[in-house]
């Protein structure tokens, strides 16, 4: 909402303050400042001149005139001008040499077209008054020669632009902002709606309301004999432009001007194009309307329409119909002012993607008492400015509406703010807003009590606080504040008018608790471990498509294909909840590779969504007026899918970077497996790894990850067809592991192991095993055979070649032995090593490799 300061001062006796000081006060009152724009402050030396002589210069491609202009100096000024819309005797704005126009444009004397030009005669655009540059601006004949044009036209002004939130629709008007400014400065407010229309002497054009839920007040007035050729007065056009609206014609400008001033949208119909009674109703199936923007719209049964016998003639509160539009020959006009359903107009506007200045106001709530006043002021302005005759009578169709009344304990604002407000202060502030406040508790207002869920309604809240001894008052909000509906709304009004800056800054007490759960700590440790391991965290949308599952080569019977479908997806291209983290990670990897980042390692932690076989098909939709019951919460839970937490990584390119120190190392399936080991280590569990075939991994380079007998995930190199489907580099690898299963297998609190002060004894052993033997099985056999003296075991070499025979491989391990209470002898370590080798020979057929 753009508010010219001069327009605001017309309704508020502001002291000698700047626009910035006014904006500060409005901001303190809760109106958000967007910007302040100054107009005309840089304009200098522009005066009123009278054209004395005009000489037409010939020999040029366009009309050029040499004029003598009286500007109140000793001698007239000679000025060359290319406009032809003025004549001798006209009064025009003239910039004298040394003058400055908006934007800092300086004007001087210069020779042009063979004549000396001592200044410039200005158009409206050159004065910053609009886009009209077709001709010179002709001033009223009584403008004083030599007078300051800036002062004469009121060009010097400041415009305060405010961002109006949905709950304060009243501030989308000069009237609403002026009321806030008057309260902020403690000065008088002159209400532009304080006009008494004449007594109703009969009906105007016939009208009725067919649907009371769509409209509860509809007013029509008529004027006849309007002169459509009369232009809007300059002061009106200037205010409209400063407020951000383009002047169109007098009839349209009057309706827009009053909408900006009062906040009541108006619409003008060409009376000659109306047929029969006007009816406000909902749309019927199949109806269509061509609106003023020349778009033919298919109407929805919930749309609110203004109709006559010919059918729809306007989308109520949003945009008029083209068929009944006033034109440049319309002389008889019907003015409409109404109060429409805020929710109905909001849904209609969004349904058609049609947001207008009228719909912005109706959807936020318009003063129900304005239609009679606004329509009367509109017809009076059309009569005064356009020569029209106001027809007696007014059509006033309405539905009875009971004013809202709220029971409020006088101490409730104090309880909300934590600051003590006297009852007199509460009453005074509410009356400043426009509320009618009466002492006592109206039993008709305080009803309902506490509902079965334990939620306190507005009336019940008042009743409960009254029991504590608070003085009760009954508040009737004003018609222009439909947002005031419960005690907390009224408390907010008192607090903001008393000043948010007076509220103390008090830190809330920290709630008692045990800190993070073990699962939360695990997730944080896993994130830190992967980040330290070279991975970058990403967050993906949890939505996928059936195509994503196809690209992963998932079989038809795979459980990951059974996904939850959203009832209202953000995009129809991705209507499913993810059952695996890989699609989001792979898409992110594709974007990075496509932008030239070829060495990438990513990880993500998040939930996946797996439908339960016993889940209800549809979750119930509950209201918001109370807390759900335990049974209702259970029914919602029954419809939800399982949501296990997972962690996944993808990596491609160099995992260890090359540089001046030497070559790097390409990422491989082994890095994906190692990422799983990092995660398991943070959970304090040991992974068992075995070969597997599981989509979307390569069938020969896929590892199944187990904790005991529980499968917790997979890791390895992705299938070449998956890489081709996503457009990824060859040998891209991935890992996905279910953290929820790891969490359930965590050993509990970590016990500190005593550190032995005795030296370590090291033994190396090389074993020959068949090449299909899993390394994990060999290591497990060595651990079990070595016994309690084994401190650690590490694989440091794998050899395949002629020395170990075809179909075999050699695994070389370093085994570290240590006792907590003594120094081990060579015999003890040798015995432990031999026992480990014997166990490996028994389990996997390992043979000790000779030198």
Q: Does residue 694 have a pLDDT over 70? A: yes
Range 372-390 average pLDDT = 95
* pLDDT tens digits, 72-116: 888 999 999 988 889 999 999 999 999 999 888 889 999 988 899
Task: Say whether pLDDT at 844 is over 80.
Answer: yes
Report pLDDT for 508.
77
> Up-side HSE of residue 490: CA atoms within 13 Å toward CB?
34
What span, in angstroms and rounded, lies between the C-alpha atoms of 640 and 612? 8
Write out pLDDT tens, residues 251-285. 999 999 999 999 999 999 999 999 999 999 999 99
Q: 847-848 and 319-320: which strand pairing?
A: unpaired
pLDDT of residue 679: 95
Whether pLDDT at 545 is above 90: yes
CA dist 277 → 203, 216, 286, 582 (Å) = 12, 17, 21, 64
455 pLDDT band, cuts 50/70/90, is very low
pLDDT over 70 at 846, yes or no: yes
pLDDT tens per residue across span 143-194: 999 999 998 888 889 999 999 988 899 999 999 999 999 999 999 999 999 9
Closest among 684, 711, 843, 682 to 776, alpha carbons compared: 843
The structure tokens 């003639």 sit at 313
Quickly state the pLDDT bin for 442 (edges 50, 70, 90): low
Residues 6 or more apart whose Cβ sits within 8 Å of residue 645: 519, 523, 605, 606, 607, 738, 739, 740, 743
pLDDT digits (tens, 9 = 90+) for 51-61: 999 998 888 88
Name the more confident of 202 and 528.
528
pLDDT for 626 = 86
Residue 125 banded pLDDT, cuts 50, 70, 90: confident
Confidence band for 851, pLDDT divided at 50, 70 and 90:
low
More reliable by pLDDT, 244 or 458: 244
Question: Is the separation of the CB atoms in 487 and 458 below 8 Å?
Answer: yes
Residues of the chain with pLDDT > 90, as a percent, come to 69
Residues 569-606 have pLDDT tens digits of: 988 899 999 999 999 999 999 999 999 999 999 999 99
- Taking CA atoms, 811 is separated from 305, 703, 785, in Å, by 84, 19, 17
pLDDT of 441 reads 61
The mean per-residue pLDDT over the stretch 41-45 comes to 88
- The H-or-E segment that residue 652 falls in is strand 645-652
Does the structure show a pLDDT above 80 at 451?
no
* Terminal CA-CA length for the chain: 90
Q: Residue 466 pLDDT > 80, yes or no?
A: no
Residue 454: its pLDDT value, please? Answer: 34
For residue 754, the model assigns a pLDDT of 80
The pLDDT-based confidence of 130 (bands split at 50, 70, 90) is confident
pLDDT(448) > 80: no
Q: What percent of the chain has pLDDT over 70?
A: 96
**pLDDT digits 0-9 by tens, 730-741:** 999 999 999 999
Q: 194: which residues sit within 8 A by CB, 6+ positions away? A: none
Among 689, 753, 740, residue whose Cα is nearest residue 716: 689
What is the helix (H) or strand (E) element at residue 654, kind and residue range? strand 654-656
pLDDT for 391: 93
């Amino acid at each position: 909402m753009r508010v010219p300061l001069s327009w605001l001062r017309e309704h508020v006796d502001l002291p000698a303050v700047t626009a910035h000081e006014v904006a500060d006060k409005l901001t303190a009152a809760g109106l958000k400042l967007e910007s302040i724009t100054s107009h005309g402050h840089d304009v200098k030396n522009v005066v009123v001149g009278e054209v004395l002589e005009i000489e037409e210069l010939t020999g040029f491609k366009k009309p050029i005139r040499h004029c003598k202009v009286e500007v109140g100096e000793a001698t007239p000024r000679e000025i060359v001008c290319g406009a032809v819309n003025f004549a001798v005797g006209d009064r025009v704005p003239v910039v004298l040499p040394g003058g400055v126009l908006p934007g800092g444009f300086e004007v001087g004397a210069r020779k042009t077209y063979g004549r000396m030009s001592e200044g410039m005669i200005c158009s409206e655009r050159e004065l910053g008054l609009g886009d009209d540059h077709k001709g010179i601006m002709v001033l009223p004949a009584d403008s004083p020669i030599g007078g300051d044009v800036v002062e004469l036209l009121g060009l010097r002004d400041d415009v305060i632009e405010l961002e109006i939130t949905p709950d304060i629709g009243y501030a989308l008007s000069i009237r609403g902002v002026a009321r806030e400014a008057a309260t902020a400065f403690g000065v008088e407010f002159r209400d532009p709606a304080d006009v008494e229309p004449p007594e109703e002497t009969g009906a105007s054009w016939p009208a009725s309301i067919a649907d009371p839920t769509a409209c509860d007040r509809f007013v029509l007035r008529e004027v006849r004999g309007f002169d459509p050729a009369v232009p809007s007065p300059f002061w009106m056009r200037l205010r409209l432009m400063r407020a951000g609206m383009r002047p169109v014609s007098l009839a349209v400008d009057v309706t827009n001007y009053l909408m900006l001033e009062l906040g009541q949208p108006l619409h003008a119909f060409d009376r000659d194009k109306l047929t029969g009674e006007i009816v406000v109703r909902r749309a019927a199936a199949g109806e269509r309307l061509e609106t003023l923007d020349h778009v033919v719209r298919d109407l929805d049964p919930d749309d609110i329409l203004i109709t006559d016998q010919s059918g729809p003639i306007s989308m109520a509160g949003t945009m008029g119909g083209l068929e009944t539009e006033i034109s440049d020959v319309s002389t008889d006009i019907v003015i409409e002012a109404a109060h429409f359903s805020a929710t109905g107009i909001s849904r209609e506007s969004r349904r058609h993607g049609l947001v207008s200045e009228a719909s912005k106001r109706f959807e936020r709530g318009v003063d129900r008492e304005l239609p009679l006043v606004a329509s009367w002021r509109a017809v009076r302005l059309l009569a005064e400015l356009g020569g029209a005759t106001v027809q007696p009578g007014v059509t006033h169709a309405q539905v009875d509406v009971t004013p809202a009344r709220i029971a409020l304990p006088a101490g409730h604002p104090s309880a909300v703010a934590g600051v003590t407000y006297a009852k007199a202060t509460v009453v005074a502030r509410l009356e400043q807003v426009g509320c009618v406040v009466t002492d006592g508790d109206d039993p008709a207002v305080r009803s309902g009590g506490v509902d079965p869920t334990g939620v306190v309604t507005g009336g019940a809240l008042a009743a409960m606080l009254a029991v504590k001894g608070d003085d009760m008052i009954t508040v009737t909000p004003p018609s222009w504040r439909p947002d005031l509906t419960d005690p907390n709304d009224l408390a907010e009004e008192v607090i903001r008018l008393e000043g948010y800056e007076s509220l103390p800054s008090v830190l809330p007490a920290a709630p008692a608790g045990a800190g993070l759960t073990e699962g939360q700590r695990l997730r944080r440790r896993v994130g830190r471990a992967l980040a330290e391991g070279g991975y970058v965290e990403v967050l993906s949308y949890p939505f996928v498509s059936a195509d994503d599952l196809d690209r992963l080569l998932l079989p038809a019977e795979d459980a990951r294909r059974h996904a939850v479908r959203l009832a209202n997806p953000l995009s129809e291209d991705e209507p499913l909840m993810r059952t695996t983290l890989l699609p989001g990670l792979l898409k992110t990897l594709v974007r990075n590779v496509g932008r030239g980042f070829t060495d990438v390692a990513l990880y993500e932690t998040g939930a996946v969504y797996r439908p339960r076989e016993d889940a209800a098909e549809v979750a119930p939709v509950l209201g918001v007026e109370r807390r759900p019951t335990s049974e209702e919460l259970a029914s919602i839970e029954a419809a939800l899918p399982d949501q296990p937490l997972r962690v996944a990584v993808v990596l491609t390119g160099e995992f260890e970077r090359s540089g001046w120190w030497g070559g790097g190392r390409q990422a491989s399936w082994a890095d994906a497996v190692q990422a799983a080991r990092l995660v398991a280590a943070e959970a304090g569990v040991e992974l068992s790894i075995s070969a597997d075939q599981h989509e979307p991994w390569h069938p020969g380079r896929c590892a199944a990850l187990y904790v005991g007998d529980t499968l917790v995930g997979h890791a390895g190199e992705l299938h070449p067809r998956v890489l081709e489907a996503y457009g990824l580099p060859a040998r891209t690898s991935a890992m996905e592991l279910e953290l929820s299963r790891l969490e359930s297998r965590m050993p509990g609190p970590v016990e500190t192991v005593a550190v032995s002060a005795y030296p370590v004894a090291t033994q190396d052993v090389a074993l020959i095993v068949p090449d299909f033997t899993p390394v994990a099985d060999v290591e497990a056999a060595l651990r079990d055979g070595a016994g309690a003296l084994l401190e650690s075991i590490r694989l440091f070499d794998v050899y395949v070649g002629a020395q170990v025979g075809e179909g075999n491989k050699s695994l070389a391990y370093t085994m570290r032995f240590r006792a907590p209470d003594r120094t081990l002898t060579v015999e003890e370590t040798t015995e432990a090593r031999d026992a480990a080798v014997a166990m490996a020979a028994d389990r996997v057929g390992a043979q000790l490799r000779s030198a």
